[in-house]
Amino acid sequence: MLKDHEKQYHIAATPDEIGGYCLLPGDPARCEKIAAYLENPTYLHTNREYCLWGGTLEGEKVTVCSTGIGGPSTAIAVEELAACGAHTMIRIGTCGGIALPVKAGELVIATGAVRQDGTSREYAPLEFPAVAEAKALRALMDAAEELGFFSHAGVVQSKDSFYGQHSPHRMPTETELKAKWEAWKRLGVLASEMEASTLFTVGASLGLSVGAIFLCVWNQERFAAGLDTNDAEVHDTDAAIRSAILALRKLIRSKKLG
């Protein structure tokens, strides 16, 4: 067990470097773009998949920390940031649409996540729901609306295998994967991604305020239905970033008001 004053093993940070509020992209290359929206952005360091930047919003220290891809590395980031004093974390990510109304370029705000991952099972039985914290969820929804960005709010699916989704036909578990995908469609799951269920479950176990917002890159179901072409992909995450920044501002202001 690391002592409170020691540098965290994976994110290589000490408590004095980390803010109470954190923004968590998956991609390390996205950290600088997010940090540019902070006041006094400063690069801290990179270790493994964890790239860290710091800055302030509304006078409060904010940290940007990439998580890498998937639940295991996300859980490590959440654990070590929390050990450094972080209490509020918002994931800024990308997703692929499942529900037909979700179009490429639109935002998806996760109210909860299907726990089709392995990491969250180390923290809670499968009966426990992976859900966003209410204040963080409301702040994200209000921020996107205030900025004029169209968003969908609902359940997303978090999985461990990218190619299990995109190439189920070549997997020995093809039948199970396809049956579950059809179930998510029938249940109105909005989109698929790889980290939210871990963030929500680990966050609940640590008593954190957590939320997640995504850019929908593409919707394979709309393509299959003939509603989109193969070149409908969108990769600009700016709307998701700006929404998360404003949501953090709202959370900071709300906490200061008591």
- What confidence tens digit (pLDDT) does each residue in 182-201 have? 999 999 999 999 999 999 99
Least confident range from 3-7, 52-56, 145-149, 205-209: namely 3-7
Average pLDDT, the chain: 96
Nearest to 152 by CA among 124, 105, 190: 190
What is the pLDDT at residue 37? 98
Residue 176 CB partners (closer than 8 Å, separation 6+): none
Q: Residues 239-250: pLDDT tens digits?
A: 999 999 999 999
CATH architecture of 15-257: 3-Layer(aba) Sandwich (3.40)
What is the pLDDT at residue 5? 56
The model carries a pTM of 0.96
What is the pLDDT at residue 233? 95
Q: Residues 113-145: pLDDT tens digits?
A: 999 999 999 999 999 999 999 999 999 999 999
What is the pLDDT at residue 4? 53
Write out the E strands in 67-117. Answer: 88-97, 107-116
Place of tokens 């923290």: 123
What is the C-alpha to C-alpha distance for residues 250 and 241, in angstroms, rounded to an integer?
14
What is the pLDDT at residue 231? 87
